[in-house]
């Protein structure tokens, strides 16, 4: 069972994991439909970055929550394909949700893509429902917007 904790994203293993995520997303979507945060954005104080490690302490997944005024947005959710189905994503989501609750966010939001049905199913199992665009997003046929009320 993966161990989950908040860590700094500026570690070489995490940078490599995020590069894997970017490469994967660019096989599915054009660059203009990939709304990724870069390392500098992930290092901001209003961002909580969670890491999943296996029994050998190797990094196997990550996710972040951006604590905005009025909502927390999930970003950079990724679990290595070899360890999917072992609970890392569920545990990452639980830690991010707790961080949003601790910050008094009434709502959690996320944007994912329609070509990632496993991700959409995970979010639905965690209580997220589809919604319209939020924040600075525009309506995009390659985006699925979801939210979960925390109050």
**3 state SS of 50:** strand
Q: Class assignment of domain 3-149?
A: alpha beta
> Where in the chain are the domains?
3-149
CA-based nearest residue to 109, from 88, 87, 130: 130
| pLDDT per residue rounded down to tens, the chain (151 residues) | 789 999 999 999 999 999 999 999 999 999 999 999 999 999 999 999 999 999 999 999 999 999 998 999 999 999 999 999 999 999 999 999 999 999 999 999 999 999 999 999 999 999 999 999 999 999 999 999 999 999 8
CA distance 110 to 131: 10
Global pTM reads: 0.95
- Residue 124 CA from chain centroid, whole number: 14
Which residue carries 């994967």 as its tokens? 24
């Amino acid at each position: 069972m993966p161990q989950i904790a908040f860590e700094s994203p500026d570690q070489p293993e995490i940078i490599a994991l995020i590069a894997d995520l970017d490469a994967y997303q660019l096989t599915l979507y054009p660059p203009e439909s990939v709304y990724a945060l870069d390392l500098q954005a992930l290092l901001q104080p209003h961002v909580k970055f969670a890491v999943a490690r296996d029994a050998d302490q190797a990094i196997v997944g990550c996710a972040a929550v951006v604590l905005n005024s009025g909502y927390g947005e999930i970003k950079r959710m990724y679990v290595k394909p070899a360890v999917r189905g072992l609970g890392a994503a569920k545990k990452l989501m639980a830690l991010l949700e707790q961080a949003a609750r601790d910050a008094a966010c009434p709502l959690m939001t996320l944007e994912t893509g329609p070509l990632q049905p496993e991700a959409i199913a995970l979010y639905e199992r965690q209580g997220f429902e589809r919604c319209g665009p939020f924040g600075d997003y525009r309506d995009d046929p390659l985006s699925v917007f979801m939210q979960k009320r925390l109050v």
